[in-house]
């Protein structure tokens, strides 16, 4: 099993669960169709190439020349007013698990999360950037897992990839 896919699914599951708990009128995430959303793409990203996604919530996957993988996961949000509460709960859960979460105001409210993980006996870090879609109807989670010793370089690679981010209208899947 690829641990990146497992951890990506876990992050989306946590976000979806928090969204569902965000309010009594909030439908379950499965009830929100994933059609016509703006998705993140990284045209011209230096050292990166697109790779196939292996799960339904993944809108794209990227592979760095040095082997690091990044998945872009989509969490639909039925009511844009739920976005701040969802983001705050997601940050708190990461902190409760011993990770770090911070809002990057200069980037328009992007949330950076670092969460420790032990994968096959290797101390690792899950690096996630949570980015609201322009229409506030989805969260895009840019997710990568790297060994703890490679955390700084791995995070810098993700930041470099994000420098090429562009919103592309997805007609549907």
Give tens-digit pLDDT for 86-117.
888 888 999 999 999 988 876 667 899 999 99
- 3-class secondary-structure state, position 60: strand
pLDDT in tens, 12-50: 444 444 333 334 343 333 333 344 568 889 999 999 999
What range defines the domain where residue 123 resides?
A: 3-22+37-169
Q: What is the pTM of this model?
A: 0.77
| Rounded distance between C-alpha atoms, residue 156 and residue 161, angstroms | 9
**Residue 27 resides in a domain:** no
- Whether residue 111 lies inside any domain: the answer is yes
Residue 124 falls inside a structural domain? yes
**31 lies in some domain:** no
Tell me, yes or no, whether 28 lies in a domain.
no
Does residue 32 fall inside a structural domain?
A: no
Asked if pLDDT for residue 122 goes beyond 60, the answer is yes
| Residue-averaged pLDDT of the chain | 79
For residues 49 and 57, the answer to whether their CB atoms sit within 8 Å is no
What is the rounded CA–CA span in Å between residue 163 and residue 165?
A: 6
Torsion angles phi and psi, residue 80, rounded to 5: -55, -30
Which of 10-14, 78-82, 131-135, 148-152 is the most confident on average? 148-152
Quote the percentage of the chain above a pLDDT of 90: 47
Residue 23 burial (10 A CB sphere; 0-12, 13-18, 19+): middle
CATH number assigned to the domain comprising residue 110: 3.40.1000.10
Confidence of residue 127 (pLDDT cuts 50, 70, 90): very high
Least Cα distance to 140 among 72, 42, 77, 46 occurs for 72
Domain count, the chain: 1
In a domain, 110, yes or no: yes
């Amino acid at each position: 099993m690829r641990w990146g896919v497992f951890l990506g699914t876990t992050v989306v599951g946590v976000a979806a669960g928090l969204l569902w708990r965000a309010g009594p009128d909030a439908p379950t995430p499965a009830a929100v169709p994933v059609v016509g959303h703006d998705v993140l793409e990284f045209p011209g990203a230096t050292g990166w190439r697109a790779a196939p996604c292996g799960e339904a919530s993944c809108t794209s996957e990227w592979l760095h020349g040095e082997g690091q993988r990044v998945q872009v996961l989509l969490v639909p949000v039925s009511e844009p007013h739920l976005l701040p509460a969802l983001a705050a709960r997601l940050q708190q859960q990461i902190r409760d698990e011993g990770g770090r979460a911070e809002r990057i105001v200069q980037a328009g409210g992007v949330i950076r999360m670092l969460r420790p993980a032990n994968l096959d006996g290797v101390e690792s870090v899950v690096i996630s950037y949570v980015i609201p879609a322009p229409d506030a109807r989805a969260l895009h989670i840019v997710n990568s897992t790297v060994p703890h010793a490679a955390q700084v370089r791995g995070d810098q690679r993700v930041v470099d990839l994000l420098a090429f981010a562009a919103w592309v209208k997805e007609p549907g899947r």
